[in-house]
């Protein structure tokens, strides 16, 4: 099978408008004859479900939380990008496009990224119209802040809770459609499988998490808006429930998985404190606007700090190494995430880390407080500082924060074409669940933008084209394909519940996380990856023999839910490692130790790796097949990324 | 993994509400938690207890949680008689064990309210909150066709005040704290956000009526101005929202006549 990304012909700036014109439309009276299934109601899913329902389609929406308002999107802190150029600082659609392509280390499609930049401006308009209370200046107009990888201020925000406000906006639009009867909402439901008939996606099988009922839902198309898979690392900044199950089941039904090894490790998170740790907490990138990152100049000073002989404030300016400012004078503390993370790791590896564990660097606000006053700093970042103090019991107004990188986001995901359709006709992927726009590294404040772009402004157009082509003939949930899928789901659950070994599901998850972090984390090499493959494969086999799963199916059973998700992570982990192994170049967040510049930066190999790796599932325990989608750059010149 | 904490372990006695499902009776069951680090969050402490229970072949304690950073509103434990525990302005997941002492007895219960029936153990059904939002918690705009964002100037003071209201995480602590199990703080926060903003004006009175009517149908109690909701709200949503909603509600009735 050859991958066709379906990027429209023509000049970059005209592709999307031309494409929109060429897409088939569904006549308004016919829309109500179609049912669309939307799995996931985070930013991508809620915006898609609401917008499609407004157009007249019937929508069935699903989430595993008790309410759509609790999707992981709620936790996004810093902001959302848009090329509004309200600051008159030289921003434009083209600049946002360029920054995103470059930030992604030239491993994303030009056409998709340009469209994203184009619709970014509409997103802000839409959210304001819904009543999202973005930060304002005294004159009453919208305020912006700066994020990494950009030299303009284009990030819109609502204190440190931008994701919450955007999600509540999308949730309100969704609620309006639920009230109108156009969306039927199924909370506390987990999608367990995709159902295809004659090769087309026609519905899903779900488990009601309260009763355990296995149910079929039929529709004309299925949209997976199920978020990222960062929790494969066990410790990450993701919410506890984030998982790969929906995407993975779709993968097993024929949807290719793209660039699975592209993981974002966020530089500013609160360091691990002990083995009880269940998740890591992000300190928003926006803090790097005013916070300065440093470690002591020497190992000796670092050692004294660690054992409490001296305090950070005792260190004179000349004894501090503001390593990002030193190495990257033009971007300074605002270099992209992958660069900032790798540098922090380097400092720690050199023995210059701080905190009792030595696995941390400082993020210092002393200068900002001197310059702006504590009140202004509190106004800008108050809730983040409070969060930090709550967790660490240290006051960041008085002493520098300790931070360290943590897994945060997954650029990889289901392969989709320009229309957001996967390799299974009628099956779409939106938001973090797809791979499309961020290449090998995502810029801060661009995930919210992409989720809402997909849901509000892309899928309402592209889905119509497909629906018009298949026609409104009803789909029957009693079709044998549904019965067959239900049977398989039930068998899978039964098998999980039959596991009565010695180790808990969490133990397996934690072990998998260790393997992934150790060998497929911030730095990767061939030997380590080969080892990781063996370890994961052995761990997976052990899981299916020695794990212990409690309770029964016919009840709320959080242990069973977790077991089912971990089982999928154990399969995904191996594919991530395989993908990392095959890509022998470094690019963005994927750092192959074998491929670096003299200065230790990621070194791409454009001659051999300018492609999207799309993996095809071939059956249990069979190696997956790699398909390559060549990336074509007609508008930007590929250069070694430099933030100096 | 290495033990990074330099602090001593604490020993605690937990009395936890266990209830198989909505149709069975529940009871408090006592557990020992012997290896509690002060650095753990409250939910991490429960994770450790649950791992022990599973090892012993017992059913783990069920509780709602997701983000574990105080924003999703999923966690909802009544700890020693107070929603989200002893500290002000935080959720259960933000509570750390250093707020307790070695040897403490901790009673953990679900939210108690007729409108929030127990599903299992500490998990309750809070879908009533969603249904109130369905009734009117929105501004009726479709996707597309809206004006440029800066065409609607809003003073910083008003925008900040609207955000203060919009900060509500929908956890239900206000209901759990109230002796009447009233949902006024929750509903008024949404009503206020929209009533403060120019975008919310066209549907202002209709919205408050629709939401209050739904609230009453869900079986929440009346507000008798005791202020427990504000005191226990993890996001410190102000009682002034209730006053604002009451004003709008009365105004709505007058306009109707
Ligand atoms: C702490 C943190 C801070 C962040 N800050 C920012 C920021 O400032 N700016 C920015 O741009 N990005 C930020 N991000 C990234 C951004 O928040 C996410 O990438 C984005 O919100 C993902 O949205 P989504 O709609 O794709 O998925 P999600 O919001 O994760 O939603 C997934 C949905 O799918 C459902 N689901 C999943 N699996 C199943 C299943 N099997 N069955 C049924 N339902 C299922 C869930 O219930 C949920 O409704 C941040 C991320 C984190 C972790
Ligand atoms: S788990 Fe999200 S607020 Fe506590």
A48 in a domain, yes or no?
no
Average the pLDDT over A402-410 and give the result: 97
**Based on the domain organization, do B70 and B101 belong to the same domain?**
yes
Please indicate, yes or no, whether residues B81 and B175 belong to a single structural domain of this protein. no
Q: What is the Å distance from ligand 1's center to A411 Cα?
A: 12
Read off the CATH number of the domain in which B146 is found: 1.10.1060.10
B2 belongs to a structural domain: no
| In-domain check, residue B174 | yes
CB A40 within 8 A of CB A225: yes
pLDDT of residue A274: 86
Domain final residue pick, B119, B141, B172: B119
The pLDDT value recorded for residue A285 is 85
Same domain, B171 and B190: yes
**What's the pLDDT score for residue B33?**
96
A544 assigned to some structural domain? yes
Last residue of a domain, which of B119, B136, B156?
B119
Q: Which ligand is nearest to the CA of A161?
A: 1
Mean pLDDT of chain A: 96
Residue among B111, B78, B104 at smallest CA distance from B92: B78
Q: Where is the domain boundary, A387, A408, A429? A: A408
Nearest to B148 by CA among A118, A121, A88, A172: A121
Q: Do B113 and B162 fall into the same domain?
A: no
Confidence of residue A546 (pLDDT cuts 50, 70, 90): very high
- CB spacing of B51 vs A504 below 8 angstroms: yes
Q: What is the pLDDT of residue A640?
A: 85
- CATH code for the domain in which residue A393 is found: 3.90.700.10
Q: A404 and A498: one domain?
A: no
pLDDT for res B7: 57
pLDDT at A78: 87
Nearest-CA distance A128 → chain B (Å) = 6
CATH of the domain at B30: 3.10.20.30
In a domain, B4, yes or no: no
| Mean pLDDT score, A331-337 | 92
The 10s digit of each residue's pLDDT in A452-480 is: 999 999 999 999 999 999 999 999 999 99
Token digits of residue B239: 């009682």
Residue range B79-122, pLDDT digits in tens: 999 999 999 999 999 999 999 999 999 999 999 999 999 999 99
Residue A500, domain member (yes or no): yes
Do A274 and A404 lie in one domain? The reply is: yes
Tens-place pLDDT, residues B122-170: 999 999 999 999 999 999 999 999 999 999 999 999 999 999 999 999 9
A504 and A404 in one domain? no
Q: What is the C-alpha end-to-end distance of chain B, expressed in Å?
A: 69
Residue A377: inside a domain: yes
pLDDT at B257 over 70: no
Asked whether residue B2 carries a pLDDT value surpassing 60, the answer given is: no
Q: Cα A637 from chain centroid? A: 27
Chain B residues 211-230 with a CB less than 8 Å from chain A:
none
Angle between helices A162-179 and A110-130 (to 10 degrees): 70
| Final residue in a domain of this structure, among A408, A428, A448 | A408
B203 and B138 in a common domain:
yes
**A41 CA from centroid of ligand 1 (Å):** 9
Same domain, B91 and B196: no
Distance separating alpha carbons of residues A106 and A441, to the nearest angstrom: 9
**Stated pTM of the model:** 0.97
Residue B1 lies in a domain: no
pLDDT tens for A192-246 read 999 999 999 999 999 999 999 999 999 999 999 999 999 999 999 999 999 999 9
Judge contact between A91 and B102, C-beta under 8 A: no
Whether residue A525 contacts residue A541, with contact meaning beta carbons closer than 8 Å, is answered with no
Residue A56 is assigned to a structural domain of this protein: no
- Residue A158: CB atoms within 10 A of its CB come to 28
Question: Is residue A344 situated within a structural domain?
Answer: yes
Which of A393, A408, A423 terminates a domain? The answer is A408
Residue A307 burial (10 A CB sphere; 0-12, 13-18, 19+) = exposed
Top-confidence residue, A38 or A273: A38
pLDDT digits (tens, 9 = 90+) for A112-159: 999 999 999 999 999 999 999 999 999 999 999 988 888 999 999 998
The nearest alpha carbon in chain B to A452 belongs to: B143
Give the domain CATH number at A538.
1.20.58.100
Domain count for chain B: 2
Judged by average pLDDT, the poorest of A96-110, A247-261, A375-389 is A375-389
Please enumerate in sequence order all residues whose Cβ is within 8 A of that of A166, keeping only pairs 6 or more positions apart, or say none: A43, A73, A76, A80, A127, A132, A448, A452
Q: Which of B1, B68, B73 sits opposite A240 (nearest CB)?
A: B68
Q: Is residue A563 part of a domain?
A: yes
Catalytic residue among A145, A154, A207, A337: A337
User: What pLDDT, in 10s, does the model give residues A553-593?
Assistant: 999 999 999 999 999 999 999 999 999 999 999 999 999 99
Position A600 scores a pLDDT of 85
Q: Which of B119, B143, B162 is the last residue of a domain?
A: B119
- Whether B52 is covered by a domain: the verdict is yes
- A439 touches A394 (CB < 8 A): no
**Which domain, by its residues, includes B244?**
127-256
Residue with tokens 């004159």: A139
| Beta pairing class for B82-83 and B78-79 | antiparallel
Do B114 and B131 share a domain, yes or no? no
In a domain? residue B3 = no
Same-domain status, A532 and A622: yes
Quote the domain boundaries for residue A290.
266-408
Query: Which residue of A86, A133, A274 is in closest CB contact with B162?
Result: A133
**Are B194 and B104 within one domain?**
no
Residues B18 and B110 in one domain: yes
Is residue A419 one of the residues assigned to a domain?
no
Given a cut of 90, is residue A2 above it in pLDDT? no
User: Do A505 and A386 reside in the same domain of the chain?
Assistant: no
Alpha-carbon span A522 to A263, nearest angstrom: 9
């Amino acid at each position: 099978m050859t991958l066709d990304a379906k990027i429209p012909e023509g000049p970059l700036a005209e592709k999307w408008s031309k494409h929109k014109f060429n897409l088939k439309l569904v006549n308004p009276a016919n829309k109500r004859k179609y049912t669309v299934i939307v799995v996931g109601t985070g930013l991508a899913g809620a915006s898609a479900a609401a917008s499609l329902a407004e157009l007249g389609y019937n929508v069935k929406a699903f989430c595993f939380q008790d309410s759509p308002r609790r999707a992981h999107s709620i936790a996004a802190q810093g902001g959302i990008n848009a090329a509004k150029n309200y600051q008159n600082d030289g921003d434009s659609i083209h600049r946002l496009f360029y920054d995103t392509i470059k930030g992604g280390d030239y491993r994303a499609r030009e056409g998709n990224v340009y469209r994203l930049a184009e619709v970014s401006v509409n997103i802000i308009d839409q959210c304001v119209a819904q009543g999202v209370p973005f930060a304002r200046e005294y004159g009453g107009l919208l305020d912006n802040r700066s994020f990494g990888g950009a030299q303009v201020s284009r990030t819109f925000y609502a204190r440190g809770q931008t994701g919450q406000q955007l999600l509540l906006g999308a949730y309100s639009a969704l609620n309006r459609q639920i009230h109108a009867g156009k969306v039927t909402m199924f909370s506390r439901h987990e999608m367990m499988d995709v159902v295809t008939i004659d090769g087309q996606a026609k519905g899903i099988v779900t488990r009601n998490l309260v009763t355990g009922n296995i149910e079929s839902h039929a529709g004309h198309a299925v949209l997976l808006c199920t978020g990222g898979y960062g929790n494969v690392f066990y410790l990450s900044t993701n919410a506890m429930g984030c998982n790969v199950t929906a995407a993975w089941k779709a993968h097993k039904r024929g949807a290719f998985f793209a660039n699975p090894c592209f993981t974002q490790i966020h530089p500013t998170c609160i360091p691990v404190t002990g083995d009880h740790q269940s998740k890591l907490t992000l300190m928003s990138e926006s803090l790097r606007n005013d916070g300065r990152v440093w470690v002591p100049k020497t190992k000796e000073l670092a050692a004294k700090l660690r054992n409490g002989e001296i305090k950070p404030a005792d260190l004179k300016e000349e004894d501090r190494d503001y390593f990002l400012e030193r190495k990257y004078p033009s971007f300074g503390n605002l270099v992209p995430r992958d660069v900032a993370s790798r540098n922090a790791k380097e400092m720690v590896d050199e023995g210059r880390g701080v905190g009792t564990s030595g696995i941390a660097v400082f993020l210092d606000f002393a200068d900002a407080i001197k310059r702006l006053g504590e009140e202004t700093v509190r106004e800008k970042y108050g809730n983040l500082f409070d969060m930090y103090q709550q967790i660490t019991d240290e006051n960041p107004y008085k002493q520098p924060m300790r931070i360290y990188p943590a897994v945060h986001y997954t650029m990889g995901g289901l392969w989709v074409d320009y229309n957001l359709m996967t390799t299974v006709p009628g099956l779409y992927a939106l938001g973090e669940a797809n791979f499309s726009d961020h290449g090998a590294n995502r810029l801060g404040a661009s995930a919210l933008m992409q989720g809402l772009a997909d849901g509000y402004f892309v899928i309402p157009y592209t889905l119509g084209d497909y629906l018009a082509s298949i026609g409104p003939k009803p789909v029957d949930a009693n079709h044998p394909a549904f019965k067959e899928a239900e049977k398989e789901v039930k068998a899978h659950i039964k098998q999980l519940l039959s596991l009565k070994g010695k180790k808990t599901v969490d133990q397996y998850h934690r072990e998998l996380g260790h393997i992934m972090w150790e060998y497929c984390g911030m730095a990767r090499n061939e030997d380590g990856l080969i080892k990781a493959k063996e370890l994961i494969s052995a761990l997976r086999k052990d899981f299916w023999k020695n794990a212990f799963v409690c309770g029964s199916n016919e009840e709320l059973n959080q242990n069973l839910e977790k077991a089912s998700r971990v089982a999928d992570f154990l399969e995904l982990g191996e594919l991530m490692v395989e993908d990392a192994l095959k890509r022998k170049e470094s690019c963005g967040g994927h750092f192959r130790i074998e491929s670096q510049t003299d200065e230790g930066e990621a070194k791409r190999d454009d001659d051999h790796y300018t492609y999207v790796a799309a993996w095809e599932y071939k059956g249990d325990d069979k190696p997956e097949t790699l398909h390559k989608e060549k990336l074509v750059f007609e508008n930007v010149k590929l250069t070694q990324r430099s933030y100096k | 993994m290495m033990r990074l904490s330099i602090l001593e372990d604490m020993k605690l006695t937990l009395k936890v509400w266990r209830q198989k499902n909505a149709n069975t009776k529940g009871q408090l069951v006592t557990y020992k938690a012997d290896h509690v680090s002060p650095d753990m969050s409250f939910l991490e402490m429960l994770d450790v207890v649950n791992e022990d229970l599973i090892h012993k072949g017992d059913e783990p304690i069920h509780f709602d949680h997701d983000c574990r950073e105080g924003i999703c509103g999923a966690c909802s434990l009544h700890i020693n008689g107070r929603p989200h525990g002893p500290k002000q302005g935080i959720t259960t997941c933000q509570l750390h064990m250093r707020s307790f002492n070695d040897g403490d007895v901790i009673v953990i219960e679900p939210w108690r309210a007729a409108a929030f029936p127990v599903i299992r153990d500490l998990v309750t059904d809070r879908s009533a909150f969603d249904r109130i939002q369905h009734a009117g918690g929105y501004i009726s705009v479709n996707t597309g066709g809206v004006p440029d964002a800066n065409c609607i100037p809003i003073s910083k003071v008003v925008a900040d005040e609207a955000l203060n209201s919009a900060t509500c995480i929908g956890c239900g602590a206000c209901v759990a704290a109230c002796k009447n199990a009233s949902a006024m703080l929750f509903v008024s926060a949404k009503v206020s956000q929209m009533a403060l903003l120019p975008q919310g004006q066209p549907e202002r009175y209709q919205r408050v009526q629709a939401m209050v009517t739904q609230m009453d149908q869900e079986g929440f109690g009346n507000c008798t101005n005791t202020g427990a909701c504000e005191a226990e709200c993890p996001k410190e949503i102000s009682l002034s929202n209730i006053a604002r909603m009451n004003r709008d509600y009365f105004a709505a009735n007058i306009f109707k006549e």
